[in-house]
Structure 1
Amino acid sequence: MLPARVLAVAPLALVVLALSGCSSWVCTDTTAKRGTAGARVEIVHTYGQRLGVTVEAVGWRLEPHPQEPSRGDKVHFDYRFEGAEDESGPAVDACAVDKKRVALGCQTIHSSEAWPEPDGTRTGDDWLAVEHPERVAGVLFVPNDQSYDRRTCETDVKDGGGTHPPEPATVGDQL
C-alpha cells in the first residue's frame, strides 16, 4: 500500500505534467477507412455510424458546360440527398468513374448546397471535369462524411486528435 503522502502528491504531479506540455501523449490522430462507393450510398460519420442520410446519383450526361462550351464535354450529374438537415449536413465525394470503377474526376458536394424539395429531399446538380470524358461509365459517391474537419494533434495538441475522414477521392483511385 502506498503512503498517504504519495497518494496526495500524485494528482498534483499529473497537473504539472499536463501544464508543462507533456500531455501530448494523449492526443492521437486516426483516419477512417474509405467506404465502398456506389450510385446510392448511406452516409457514415468518421466513426462509422450511419447518419440516416443517403445520397443518390439520379442521372448524368456528357455535355459542354454552358459557361465554357469551348472546353468540350464535362460530366453533368444530378443528385438527391434524403434525410439531410436544411442548414448543415454531410458532404461526400462524387466521382466520375470508368468501367473498372477508377476515378476520372472527383469533388466534394455538400447537402447544404442542394435545393430543398417539398418531399423533404434535397436535390442538386454539379459538373466534373475529366481528361477523357469518353471513358466515363458512371458517377459514384464515397459514403464517408467529409463535412467535419477536426483539428489534428499537429495543429492543436490540447483539442485536436480523434478520427478524421479519409483523404478525399482523387483521379486514379480505385473505388
Structure 2
Amino acid sequence: MVTITAVHGDITTQKVDAVVNAANRAMRGGGGVDGAIHRAGGPAVLEDCIARFPDGLPTGDAGWTVAGDLPATWVIHTVGPNFTAGERDRSLLTSCYRRSLEVADELGARTVAVPLISAGVYGWPKDDAITAAIETIRAADTAVDQVRLVAFDEATFEQVAGALE
C-alpha cells in the first residue's frame, strides 16, 4: 500500500523518481507548478513535451518526459480540469491522480512528488482538491511506495497534513 506524506516545500527540489506536473493541455509550460517545473528542468523538459505530445494532452490524462535539470528522473505531466472555466467534472480531477500513478508504474517509479492538481489558478476548491487527491491515491492499485503531496505554502501544507491524520 502506498504511503502518503505531506511535504511543505518546492516540488522542483524533491529527490524522487518522478515529479507530477499540473500541466495545461498544450504541454508547453505555463504558470504556477507548470512554469516552475519547466524553469527548473530547463529546455530538455519542453523539448521532450514537444516531441512526445505534439498535440498536447486531454484533461484527465497523463504522460511522461525527461526531468532535465530536476533532481527527479522523470516528470509526469497531467492536465487537470479548469474549475474557473467551468470544467467541474470531479472524475477528471481524480483521473489525473490515477493516470499519474499508472504512468509511474509504467516507468517503474517508486517515489513520486505530487502537487494539488487544479487547486491553484484553475480554482478547484482546495478542501475538495485535497480530499480527491488523498482518496484517489489511497484507492490506487499501484506499485508506487511513497507519494509526497507537496504544498508550497504553509496554510495548504497544514490542510493537507490535517487531512492525512
Same fold judged by TM-score > 0.5?
no
TM-score computed with the length of structure 2 as normaliser: 0.29
Q: Which has the larger radius of gyration?
A: 1
Question: Which is helix-richer, 1 or 2?
Answer: 2
Question: Which is strand-richer, 1 or 2?
Answer: 1
TM-score computed with the length of structure 1 as normaliser: 0.28
Which structure is richer in relative contact order (CA contacts within 8 A, separation 6 or more)?
2
